[in-house]
Structures are given as C-alpha cells and as structure tokens.
Amino acid sequence: MVCKIPEPGMKLMEYQGKDLFRRVGIPTPSGVFATTAAGVKDYIAGHPGSWVIKSQVMMGGRGKAGGIKFADDAAQGETLARELIGKVLKSIQNPDGEEVKSLLVEEKVDIASEAYVSITIDRAAKKPVVLVTAQGGMDVEEVAEHNPEAIAKYWIDPAAGYAPFIGRRLAFAAKLPEGYRKAFPALLGALYTLFMEYGANLVEINPLVLTRDGRVIASDAKVDLDDNGLYKHPDIAEWNKQSPADEDQAAAVAIGLGMSNYAKFDGTVGIIANGAGLGMGTMDAIRSAGGEAANFLDIGGGAQAALVKKSYNLVTSDPKVRAMFINIFGGITRGDQVAKGIVEAVAGDDVRKVPLVVRLTGTNAEEGRAILAEAGFVPVETMDEGAARAVALAQGAA
Amino acid sequence: MVCKIPEPGMKLMEYQGKDLFRRVGIPTPSGVFATTAAGVKDYIAGHPGSWVIKSQVMMGGRGKAGGIKFADDAAQGETLARELIGKVLKSIQNPDGEEVKSLLVEEKVDIASEAYVSITIDRAAKKPVVLVTAQGGMDVEEVAEHNPEAIAKYWIDPAAGYAPFIGRRLAFAAKLPEGYRKAFPALLGALYTLFMEYGANLVEINPLVLTRDGRVIASDAKVDLDDNGLYKHPDIAEWNKQSPADEDQAAAVAIGLGMSNYAKFDGTVGIIANGAGLGMGTMDAIRSAGGEAANFLDIGGGAQAALVKKSYNLVTSDPKVRAMFINIFGGITRGDQVAKGIVEAVAGDDVRKVPLVVRLTGTNAEEGRAILAEAGFVPVETMDEGAARAVALAQGAA
Amino acid sequence: MSIFLDKNSKVIVQGITGREGAFHTARMLAYGTKIVGGVTPGKGGTTIESGQPVFDTVKDAVDSTGATHSIVFVPPAAGADALWEAHDAGIQLAVCITEGIPAHDMMRVCATTAGMRIIGGNCPGLISPGKSLVGIMPGHVFLEGNIGMISRSGTLTYEIVDGLTRAGLGQSTCVGIGGDPIIGTTFVDCLRAFASDPETHVVVVSGEIGGSDEEDAAAFIAEHLPDKPVVAFIGGRSAPKGKRLGHAGAIISGNTGTPESKVRAFAAAGVPVADRPSQIPELVAARLAKR
Amino acid sequence: MSIFLDKNSKVIVQGITGREGAFHTARMLAYGTKIVGGVTPGKGGTTIESGQPVFDTVKDAVDSTGATHSIVFVPPAAGADALWEAHDAGIQLAVCITEGIPAHDMMRVCATTAGMRIIGGNCPGLISPGKSLVGIMPGHVFLEGNIGMISRSGTLTYEIVDGLTRAGLGQSTCVGIGGDPIIGTTFVDCLRAFASDPETHVVVVSGEIGGSDEEDAAAFIAEHLPDKPVVAFIGGRSAPKGKRLGHAGAIISGNTGTPESKVRAFAAAGVPVADRPSQIPELVAARLAKR
C-alpha cells in the first residue's frame, strides 16, 4: 500500500526489539523496562550505578528532542522519569510529537567505538542485504550520502543462509576496529536468524557499541516485522494489539482488512476500491478530476458483502468525507457481493449517508448492477467518469 | 573406519533419543526414566494406571529377550523393575548380551496403528533420505526385502530444506492410515530439524503409533549422532562420556584419537598405521601374509611423537598381541615425529615390549629413519615385506 | 504467439476444491483453459463436477496428466509449501494467486526453485487471450491481439485492458506480476520474454510507486528493446509521501521509488507515461502507427 | 595433459599462517605449485617468508591475485565456512584437507556451492606430477606420466603411487577424493574427467569397503569408459564384518558396501581388482601393453 513504502510492517519499540535480540543471543545492555517513575526509582535503588533513561517512542531523533536522560542515583532517576513519562517529544521528523508512555533504564556503558549494522530486504534481488559501517551512532543516510564507500554491503543467498565469513568480510570491508572482530560474525549470524525467523523487514543496531572493557553490545534496537509473517509468532502479534502503532492500521484490522489496506488523507472524496493498484489509480483519477482523496481503502480480493458494508462505515466515519466513490473491477471480487454490501450499508439507519458514486464492472458485474438498479443506484461506466462525478458531488456538498 | 559402516557415530539410548524428540516437539509417551526399582515404584504410585517398563539397552531385539514388561500397579512395577535391572539380555543380534542399567517407564497407549519413519544420510546423493512405511513395529529390513514397494522414500534437498508437502507426499505414498495425516507433516519436519540441528546419522521412530484416541506418538526412538558434529552440543557429548557405548571408542578418545580410529579384533599382529586406508591395507597385507590383525589403529594425519607412544601402549595392552607392525607413509604425518614416538615408546620401562617391525617412508622419512637407526631399529622397505616379517614374528613368538 | 502460456499448456489447480479454487477453475474452463486436474490432499481419486480428476499431491497430478502449469489457491501460510511442491513435481510455471505469503518464505522459495517460473504471489495471473487463462482475471475483458501487458496490480490491469479492448487493441499476453514485496517474475523478466515474441508489437507496463522495478524496467528497455515500443503508467502518483521504512531501504538501490524517479526513468528510455489509464489506448495506437 | 589442475593454476592457501598451512605451503612451493597468496583473517597486508601476500578474506585474495584454486587448512568447525567463502569469492576448485567436518554441514555445502568443484574433505589433495601439487602428498613419490589415479584414502594412494613410480609408470593426475562420509567429488566425477583426457591412458581406482562409490564407479566405467582401461583395488577386504548403522542405511542404495559386492561390480565392468597394492603396477602395465 501507498503509505508504508516499501512494505507494510509492524514496528517494534526499542525494548521490544531488544527482547528479540536476547532471544537470539545478541548482547544488550543490562537494565529494566518501566512504565512508572516508582519503577525506575526502585530499580536504580537496587542496582546502584550510572543509568541511562530512554523514552520508548517510535519517532526518530528522540535524543535531540530531550527523550534521553542520565541518572546517577535513585532519586534523580525518579525525578527524570516523572519528567519524561507523559511528555510529548517533537522532532523534525515528527512535528506532531509523540507521547512518552514507557521508559527503558539501561547501564551506561563506557563507549570505545560505535558501529552500525542492519539487515533489510532487497526486493529487486529477492535477498536480505546487510549494511555495515564503522560510522555508527549517526544517521546512516548521511553516511550514505557523504561517504558511501564507508558502507559495506553483502547480499545473503537465502538458500545457503548465513556463514561466519560474511561477518568477517563485512567487518574488514567496513574497517570496524579490531575489538569488534571476534564477536561480530556470531552477532551478525544471530541478527540474521532474528531477521529470517521473525520475518523482519528491517533489523538495525545503531549504535553497535564496543565498550572499553571489550564487549560488543547492541545499544539501540530497531525492528520492523513483516505483518504477513506475524501469524508464526502469536506472542509478538499480541504486542501490537496491545498498543497499535498506527490508528489507521488498527481500524483496518478491526474490520477484518489487512493492516495496510486503509489509510486516511486530507481530501474530501472517500474511496473504496478492490486492489491496491486500482485504489491508487482511483486516487489519481480523483486528483485528475480536480479533487483530493480522503482515504485509500482496498477491500482486497474476493470481498464479501459484510466487508463492503464495514468498509463503507469506516470511510464515512471520517467527517471530512463529503462524497464516496466505490470503484470495483471484478476479478476474484464478485460484483454481486459488492453490490449487496453497498445496498446493505446504505440501507442501515446507523450510517452516515454521503453522496455515492458506484462503478462496477468485471466478474459478476451484470448481477451486481441488477442488485444496484433494484435499490435505485445507477452505476457510472468508467473510472474517469466516476471520479469526475464524485469530485463534483463533494464540492457541491461543501 | 572399518567397523562402523557406513560411518562412525554416537548411538543414543531410547530415553536420550526421546529427550531430543521433546526438544524439537515430537510427541512421546508420558513417563519417567529410572535407575532403581524404588524409582519405578514411586512413579507408578503417584501416577496410577497401566505402564510399560522398557529396559534401556543399545541392542536390538530387547522385546524378544524379555526386556519389556507391563505393570498395572506400583508393587508389580517394583518387582518387575528389580527383575530387569542388572539382568543381561541376549538376542540373536547380540549373543554376548547387554546388562540392563536403567529403565524407561511409559504410559501404555492404546494402539490403533503402527508406522515407521526414519531419516538417514545417503552418501552418494549427499542428501538426507526419509523412509516411511505403514508397516511399523517390525524390522524394516524385512519389509524392504519382502515388500519393497511398501516403503516410500524422499531425498531432501539440504538447500531448500524441509517443507510440509514432503510429509504429505510420503504419508500418501506409504498409505499411512488417515489418522496420521494431519500430524505427520509437522512431525516429520521436527524430525528433520533434529536430524540437521543435532547432526544425526540416523533418526528412526519405530513404531510411530497412532492411538485409538487419535494421537500420533513416537513410541520408540533410535538416534545415532555424527560424532564430528557433537562439538556443537556439549551437553549431549557429555552423555557419551558418562556411559561410553563402545570400549574401543572410549579407549581411542582417552588417548586423543578420534572415536573410530581404533578397533580390536581377534588376531595376533598389532597394527599402527597413518590413515584409515593404509590401516585397512595393512590389515589386508597381514592376512595375505598368512596372519591376522589384532587391531586397527589409525594415528590420523599429522600425528606427533606423544600420540605414537600412547598408541603403541594401547595396542600392546591387548595381551593377544604377539608382534607389532608400524606402517607409516608420510604425507601430513612427518616421519621424524613418528620415529621419535616409537623410540620414546619402546624406551619406557612401563611398556610391554613385543617384536616390532617398522616401515617408514614419505614426508621426512629420511630424518625418521635416521632417528630409528640411531636407536637400533632397521626399518623394512615395503608393506608386503613388513607384513610378512610381522606375521613370522607373531607366529614365532606363539 | 504469446509468452509463458499458449492454448496447449496443461494446467492443474492447487486447491481445486476450495472456495476460490473451485470458482475460478470453472471460469478458467469456461474460457477454454486446458485444466487437466487439480490437487486437494485427501481428495485424491475423486473428480470435480466438470470431470477433472483430483489428486492428493502435485506429483500424482503431474505424473498422471503431464501438466506443465499450475495455479495456486491456498492460504498464505501454505503458499511457500505449495510452490515448493510444484517445483519438486516438475511444474514449469506456477501462478501464485495467494496474497500475503511472508516475504521471507518467498525469498527462500525464489532461491530454491530454479527452473520453475513463478508468477506472483498476490497476482491476478496470466492470460493469452483467445488461448488460455491461468488466473482470476475476468476473461471477457480481454481480446486476442498484439499488445503485451505487464502490471503489478490486478484490478488496474483490468481497467487498462478494458480500455485497450474497447479501442480494438487486442492483447498477446497479459501478465499480472503481483503486488507482494517479493515476487517470482519481474517486469524485466516479462520484457525479456516479450522482446523475443514477434507477435507482440507494443508492450504496456503498468507500475506503481515504491520499489525499483519500474526503474529497472526502464533501464532494460533502453538497453535491450530498441525495436519494441513500450508505453507506461505509474499508479499512485497522487499519494501523499509516505513514511519511510527505517533508514536502510533507500540506500540499497540508491533509489527512492517516488513517482518522479519512475517517470524520469521511463522518459530517459523513450517510454511515454500516461497520466491516466484512459490515455493508454491512444498512446499505444500512436506507437503502433509508427511501426 | 591433466585433469582439474595444471602448471598455470593459481592457488591460494586458506589458513596459510597456521601450523599445517605454513608447512605444506612451503612444500607445495618447493614442488613448483603456483601459490599466489593465502588467507588468515587479521593478517591481511603481511607476507609469508617466501614472499606471498596474506589477505584477510578469500575475496581480497582472489581480487588481488586472480586465483582459481584454493586449498583449505582450517579446523573442522570452520571447514564449511571456508568452503562457502571460497565459493562466494569465485574459486573454481577447492581442495579441503580438513578432516571431520560435520556431515550435515557438508551436505549443505555441497547443495549450495554450484559451480565450484570441491575435492575432499579429509583428503590428501590433488597432484598433476611435474606440474602442480595442491595437497599434502609427498611430491617426490610421484612421476609425470599417463596413469590417472583416484583414491578414497590418502596414505594408500602414496603406497600405490610409490609402486607405480618404482615401476616407471608415471601419473597424469592423482586425486585423493577423501574419506569423510560426504565428499565433494566422487570416483564417477573423476572418471568423467579422465575419460576426456587423451593423455591419461589407464586409470587406477583405489576404493575401500563401505558405501557404494565403488559400485557406482563400476557402473559408470561399464557404460562410459569402453576405451579407457581401469584397474582397481579395494582396501579393507580382510576387515571383520562391522556392525551396521541402524536399519535404514543399506535399504537406500540396496547395496551392502561389502568387499564382495565391490569386487563383483568391478569384475562385471571388466575391471581387474588387485589383491594387494603391490600387484597394481603389473596390472597397469598389462593394460598399457594392450592399448
């Protein structure tokens, strides 16, 4: 879908990513996850020393936004935690801000060096690709822009899998300090295991810290999981249900759609289409006709009447929607089912009725058009025509 | 090596095999492992019902040998366990017998059907091969002989790994009763995981029981692990140290050889050679010369003097040995090291001295022959000559 | 001529007795596709209403029918397994309708099924109009002819083809390559096949924002298709710029996947890009006229 | 001519600064092998005493030297990794001296290194006498000539070759295929290569009891080597019959791996089998005389 380029996924918070790190044997700093200032206080009281208190948020740039603090005793920890919890962090990447709901308290390690390592999917190569650079702790995109030869890459053959030479080669190619070398091949192997076993779109450690006492530790954790693979790990799928990262995703899942089948935008024309491509094409057609889409909604293949009705209600629950364009080209989706759903949806008393334009063709279109005709709807012939009419209706209703 | 065709391995007892089964998720009967009659009594007392008491031995045919009993209460269990522990079971396969040291107490399941499944290495294909037949509970070799088409086979590509269709196809091809079908693909996948992760030469479930209440359970477990892969599983390697399955293996490992580098036979000529091939060739030469080898001992590649000395002592610890033929053709093994070992070995007061014939050629042979000459040995020129002389010495000494 | 599929291709249906499998089997048969059987484990030995035999395994089906093509209708969790089974049984081309097969399963499938062409997953399939349909496309929209079509999206394909057909521009083969992150056959694979098909005169490439397939296709066209006119469309050009997936994504390909970069790439390859699907027929007609 | 290896083959040594690696590198250089460098992670940028450069990775070594051949001296736990690294770097032939690589690692290696020939593991290597030695064989035993030699055992090879050389029967190439359960190159692979080498006039196959390689070799000879005389030896014929590995082993190949079955197979293929290594030279000479 359009809004989650390159592919939809479930982003994990740092503390969740580190949970997975520990499952596969990647060293992480010692510490505790806390949702209250008292929890932070108690932990530091029981474990005297210097601690880092890190806000658990999805946004980038949390350090610059003041989301990371340092505490040397329990009282200080409590004070800082109280400050952070409930605070809304804002950064350039995220001007709206994100509220801090939980914290990660971690040992303050003595840093000798910071590296960067990630594995992501190269769609074109159909392979996992590993990126490593000795310039950790900073934005890797900047490294890529100003110093591209500092980034070492390796495409792993999924048939052969990971072998330690890959880690060795990358460590040498990226000129990682010697202290990394012994630990790195096994650590990257564990990261690859996580990537494949848990179906990650991205696993990233930035920085991967070499401490002055010679340990190699994942100081941060960024993990984005392919939602198509989540069924293999019901415990992790549960994390997402508890705190959905994205309201649109949650709304889509709630009515039985895929989590990337719905997204809200700023326009006034509501859209329901079958297929992501037709959905995007419909948005384009709305813009060509001088309007703006209020949303993207793909009912997917083979949708039944009940889903169409729920989708109608979801789209119209956005008060910005002034008109609706339902654009169906039946393949695996059958026109009669869609028509039935439309009729049922609009028949209900509990729905907000907006001017509706329907375009229905393809598989079982005749049957569908008959059902619509019986309910008093006259479908349009083409997408361009439907888009134009929907834009006119939305603007007329404004 | 010669005595463990097709390859050397570490055989596990049933209860150990089932431990691995449980690690990968293969269902096994409920029960307990016991080394005392009291243990059996206590368990049955705590878990009333019908129980099978199975002697834990390596030999085949333990059922016919009286090693499996049934108990319906704790007192009966105790009596039977007392009978079994310490008993020496004898079968056609094992006329010398094997002492029962431990027992496995297991639920008596209500059997609807018995199948057979195994995975082993096909050396020629370089792939794991799966065998499945619906005729479980009996000797699969007999099935192979009398009813070969009842055995379904599949060679797994180690690059692609296991996929459920393999289990489905085998279940249909072997005509397993329908009750197996749902559980079988996942169960075979778990067995393949065990086979690859633990490096098994053989994993075999015979019988794989379908119970009347619809469960599919591994009623027996035969696991033979590649000793070359044991280093990956130190906990399992430890099992073997606690109770070595084979005295020759244990003796070889004790002096630092591979577990299949030494085997004792019935002849009178002791042999030390470098390389399994030359060792076998030397045995053949001894027989050609009219004698019989007392052993096979391969000191391996690159042997040092100390190992040669220990090997000498191991071979001569067999009182049958009347003469010794050391046959070295240096490649990675260096003649000077071997010569030094021979001289040191024979120089000790703590060794049994037997007439010794040495043949030494190849890498650093000149240096080696010089060392031997200095100590008063005159090496022979060829293997045939050495074999003939060693046989003559052994017979002369008889 | 056509690519990948002709009227003699023998096709089996994996999941033939399931809801979608049964529905589309009937439609494909009605279109004239040579469906020689299907697979549903446990239903081996039966037949479907129209008489085609059902087998327990793909191997049984291939051994009995000589099928070379397969179409897969199974749930996502069984998708990779179905493709491996097809490959193992000697199937040459498998169309994977299933949507949402985990990307990591598909990476492994693609790396271990050498010799079998996979179309999809999450695709509408393949049609050589007038000859054979292996997919879920509405056959009546298509018309036999000389336009090749490749599309990432299913329903957008129908939209575009509908326009072509109404304009009398028939199609040689239409391939829906699928919308999942990892797919078996790319634009470039299809372009390569069309390049050596003398009866395909113009090729329509219907892409989307995201990824770098379109840029790769443009580069391939510039280098290898000097004599085969191509027309393109990019869906989703009006979409607000989405959040990026972490940092690493864009660095690999050096490619942003934005509509601008795709339009630019096609323009550099001499490929006109339609603003709306409805413009495609005239662009195609113009290219045909120049031949 | 020779197979697999000639005087221009550029060779690198994986594990060049280790005890065995260093020792045999010196011996191979003394024999005349074109050793162009070696690999020891962390020692990149240094050179060994005789001046050859050491690299951190096989890729660096191949990129700098153009090496096509590699010889592997690493511990068993690192063996599979070394072979994968060689394959990944574009090495065409890797000789694996390492003994005791887990069989399951080797199965995976063999399944994922298409395009690279692996000799071994647990083998003495490869020699084309007078041209190049990539292995741990004692070079002085060998003589340049027209006898091809293939052997499962290392030291038995030297024994047999020693006899050939003393009888004035030189060798084109001798391949020690290795004694581990899973090896990269089999008797049949070598026989196929010798079949198309006009300067190999007779081939000696030195087998062992166990497995079915010898039977496979005999079948191949009968079918594909009508004009290339072969002489065989089977080691271990006097060994007491060993315990069998479970039940499944013998069922797969329908083959017992006994000396009798191997002798029978060779006899059926018209291949004389020597009773002792010392008989081989006369059998070879007789076959040469008949040419």
> 3-state DSSP call for residue A293?
strand
C126: nearest Cα among C16, C218, C36, C6 = C6
- pLDDT band at residue D242 under the 50/70/90 scheme: low
- Find the DSSP H helices in chain B: 14-24, 37-46, 74-84, 140-146, 164-173, 178-181, 184-197, 234-242, 247-254, 276-288, 305-316, 335-347, 365-374, 383-397
Question: What pLDDT was estimated at residue C69?
Answer: 98
Cα–Cα distance measured from residue D146 to residue D144, given in angstroms and rounded to the nearest whole number? 7
Q: What distance in Å separates residue D56's CA from the closest CA in chain B?
A: 25
In angstroms, the Cα distances linking C91 to A72, A267, C20, C196 are 66, 48, 21, 23
Cα–Cα distance measured from residue B72 to residue C45, given in angstroms and rounded to the nearest whole number? 46
Same domain, B365 and B306: yes
Nearest chain A residue to B159, by CA: A159
Respond yes or no on whether the N-terminal peptide bond of residue D121 is cis (omega within 30° of 0). Answer: yes
Q: What distance in Å separates residue A347's CA from the closest CA in chain C?
A: 27
Q: What is the mean pLDDT of residues A234-249?
A: 75
Same domain, B275 and B387: yes
Whether the CB-CB separation of D1 and D198 falls below 8 Å is answered with: yes
Asked if A140's CB is within 8 angstroms of C111's CB, the reply is: no
Is C241 a residue whose pLDDT tops 80? no
Question: What pLDDT was estimated at residue B92?
Answer: 77
| Residues of D annotated catalytic, as ranges | 247
Is D246 a residue whose pLDDT tops 50? no
Q: What is the mean pLDDT of residues A37-61?
A: 93
ipTM for the predicted complex comes to 0.91
Q: H or E element: which one contains C30?
A: helix C19-31
**Last residue of one domain, picked from the residues B78, B107, B136:** B107
In a domain, A337, yes or no: yes
Is D245 a residue whose pLDDT tops 70? no
Q: What is the mean pLDDT of residues C21-48?
A: 96
Q: What is the mean pLDDT of residues A233-248?
A: 76
Cα–Cα distance measured from residue D278 to residue C189, given in angstroms and rounded to the nearest whole number? 60
In a domain, B293, yes or no: yes
Residues in chain B with CB shorter than 8 Å from the CB of C111 are 159
Q: What distance in Å separates residue B111's CA from the closest CA in chain C?
A: 23
Phi, psi of D39 (to 5 degrees): -130, 125
Same domain, B325 and B388: yes
- Find the DSSP H helices in chain A: 14-24, 37-46, 74-84, 140-146, 164-173, 178-181, 184-197, 234-242, 247-254, 276-288, 305-316, 335-347, 365-374, 383-397
pLDDT tens track for D91-115: 999 999 998 899 999 999 999 999 9
Phi, psi of B37 (to 5 degrees): -65, -35
Where residue A171 sits, what CATH number does that domain have? 3.30.470.20
Is A9 a residue whose pLDDT tops 90? no
Helix, strand, coil percentages (3-state) for chain D, rounded to 5, are: 40, 20, 40
Q: Is the dihedral of CA A35, A40, A43, A47 positive or negative?
A: positive
Residue ranges of chain B with per-residue pLDDT less than 70: 1-8, 241-246, 302, 397-398
Helix B276-288 and helix B383-397: axis angle, to 10°? 60
Query: Which has more pLDDT, C5 or A306?
Result: C5
Torsion of CA A376, A382, A388, A389, to 10 degrees: -10
- For β-strands D230-235 and D273-274, DSSP reports them as parallel
Phi, psi of A258 (to 5 degrees): -65, 155
Question: What pLDDT was estimated at residue D247?
Answer: 31
Query: Which has more pLDDT, A261 or A318?
Result: A318
**Last residue of one domain, picked from the residues A107, A134, A160:** A107
What's the N-to-C CA distance of chain C in angstroms?
A: 18
Total count of domains within chain A:
3
Q: Is the dihedral of CA B137, B143, B144, B150 positive or negative?
A: negative
Same domain, A119 and A93: no
Is C238 a residue whose pLDDT tops 90? no
Is A72 a residue whose pLDDT tops 60? yes
Phi, psi of D256 (to 5 degrees): -95, -15
Where residue A254 sits, what CATH number does that domain have? 3.40.50.261
Same domain, A264 and A383: yes
**C264 touching B (Cβ < 8 Å):** no
**Of D57, D82, D112, Cβ closest to residue A160:** D112
* B241 CB-near residues (< 8 Å, 6+ apart): none
Cα–Cα distance measured from residue B304 to residue B240, given in angstroms and rounded to the nearest whole number? 26
D61: nearest Cα among C159, A168, A114 = A168
Residues in chain D with CB shorter than 8 Å from the CB of A165 are 57-58, 81-82, 84-85, 88
Cα–Cα distance measured from residue A327 to residue A311, given in angstroms and rounded to the nearest whole number? 13
* C238 CB-near residues (< 8 Å, 6+ apart): A280, A283, A284, A286, A287, A292, A293
Question: What pLDDT was estimated at residue C66?
Answer: 98
Asked if C186's CB is within 8 angstroms of A284's CB, the reply is: no
Same domain, B138 and B222: yes
* B309 CB-near residues (< 8 Å, 6+ apart): B341, B342, B344, B345, B348
pLDDT tens track for C11-23: 999 999 999 999 9
Is D52 a residue whose pLDDT tops 80? yes
Identify the weakest region by mean pLDDT among B90-104, B136-150, C244-258, D162-176: C244-258
Residues in chain A with CB shorter than 8 Å from the CB of B159 are 159-160
In a domain, A25, yes or no: no
**D179 touching B (Cβ < 8 Å):** yes
Cα–Cα distance measured from residue B14 to residue B385, given in angstroms and rounded to the nearest whole number? 48
What's the N-to-C CA distance of chain B in angstroms?
A: 29
**Last residue of one domain, picked from the residues A195, A230, A265:** A230
Whether the CB-CB separation of B332 and B363 falls below 8 Å is answered with: yes
B23: nearest Cα among B154, B204, B173, B190 = B190
Which residue in A15, A116, A154, A198 is the catalytic one? A116
Nearest chain B residue to C57, by CA: B169
Question: What pLDDT was estimated at residue B265?
Answer: 86
Nearest chain B residue to D235, by CA: B281
Residue in the structure block whose two tokens are 């323009």? C267
Is A93 a residue whose pLDDT tops 80? no
Same domain, A284 and A329: yes
Q: Is the dihedral of CA D8, D11, D17, D19 positive or negative?
A: negative
Longest Cα separation, chain C: 56
Where residue A103 sits, what CATH number does that domain have? 3.30.1490.20
Q: What distance in Å separates residue A200's CA from the closest CA in chain D?
A: 24
pLDDT tens track for B286-322: 999 999 999 999 987 767 778 888 999 999 999 999 9
Structure token digits, residue B336: 């000077």
> 3-state DSSP call for residue B51?
strand
Please name the residues between 51 and 70 in chain D that touch chain B, using a CB distance below 8 Å: none
Cα–Cα distance measured from residue A174 to residue A182, given in angstroms and rounded to the nearest whole number? 15
- pLDDT band at residue C255 under the 50/70/90 scheme: low
Same domain, A164 and A268: no
Instruction: Give yes or no: A366 in active site.
Output: no
Q: Please name every residue paired with A264 in a beta bridge, in sequence order, or none if there are none.
A: A295
Q: What is the mean pLDDT of residues D158-175?
A: 95
pLDDT tens track for C166-206: 999 999 999 999 988 899 999 999 999 999 999 999 999 99
Question: What pLDDT was estimated at residue B135?
Answer: 93
Cα–Cα distance measured from residue A190 to residue A383, given in angstroms and rounded to the nearest whole number? 50
Average pLDDT score, chain D: 91
In a domain, A329, yes or no: yes
Q: Is the dihedral of CA B130, B131, B134, B135 positive or negative?
A: negative
pLDDT tens track for A307-339: 888 999 999 999 999 999 999 988 777 888 888
Asked if D44's CB is within 8 angstroms of A163's CB, the reply is: no
Q: What is the DSSP letter of A380?
A: B
Question: What pLDDT was estimated at residue D250?
Answer: 40
Whether the CB-CB separation of A84 and A67 falls below 8 Å is answered with: yes
Q: What is the mean pLDDT of residues D6-24?
A: 95
Q: What is the mean pLDDT of residues A285-290?
A: 93
Same domain, A380 and A261: yes
* A111 CB-near residues (< 8 Å, 6+ apart): A207, A209, A210, A211, A212
Question: What pLDDT was estimated at residue B269?
Answer: 96
Those chains having 3 or more beta-carbon pairs within 8 angstroms of chain B are: A, C, D
Contact residues, chain A to chain D, C-beta under 8 Å: 157, 159-161, 163-165, 168-169, 172, 178, 181
Q: What is the DSSP string of A10-48?
A: EEPPHHHHHHHHHHHT-----EEEESSHHHHHHHHHHS-
Question: What pLDDT was estimated at residue A66?
Answer: 92
In a domain, A2, yes or no: no
In a domain, B275, yes or no: yes
* CA D49 to the chain's CA centroid: 28
Beta-strand (E) ranges in chain D? Answer: 11-14, 35-39, 54-55, 69-72, 93-96, 117-120, 125-128, 132-135, 144-151, 171-176, 202-208, 230-235, 243-244, 273-274
For the entire predicted model, the pTM comes to: 0.91
3-state secondary structure B181-193: HCCHHHHHHHHHH
Same domain, A184 and A258: no
* CA D237 to the chain's CA centroid: 22
Residues in chain B with CB shorter than 8 Å from the CB of A197 are none
Same domain, A225 and A277: no
Question: What pLDDT was estimated at residue D213?
Answer: 86
Helix, strand, coil percentages (3-state) for chain A, rounded to 5, are: 40, 25, 35
In a domain, B216, yes or no: yes
**Which domain range does residue A153 map to?**
111-230
Question: What pLDDT was estimated at residue A105?
Answer: 96
Cα–Cα distance measured from residue D234 to residue D180, given in angstroms and rounded to the nearest whole number? 17
Is A240 a residue whose pLDDT tops 80? no
Where on the phi/psi map is residue A353: left (φ > 0), alpha (ψ -120 to 50), or beta?
A: beta
A180: nearest Cα among A120, A130, A136 = A136
pLDDT tens track for A174-187: 999 999 999 999 99
Cα–Cα distance measured from residue A162 to residue A192, given in angstroms and rounded to the nearest whole number? 7
Whether the CB-CB separation of B346 and B383 falls below 8 Å is answered with: no
Question: What pLDDT was estimated at residue C213?
Answer: 86
In a domain, B341, yes or no: yes
Same domain, A100 and A117: no
* CA B389 to the chain's CA centroid: 34
Q: Please name every residue paired with A105 in a beta bridge, in sequence order, or none if there are none.
A: A32, A53
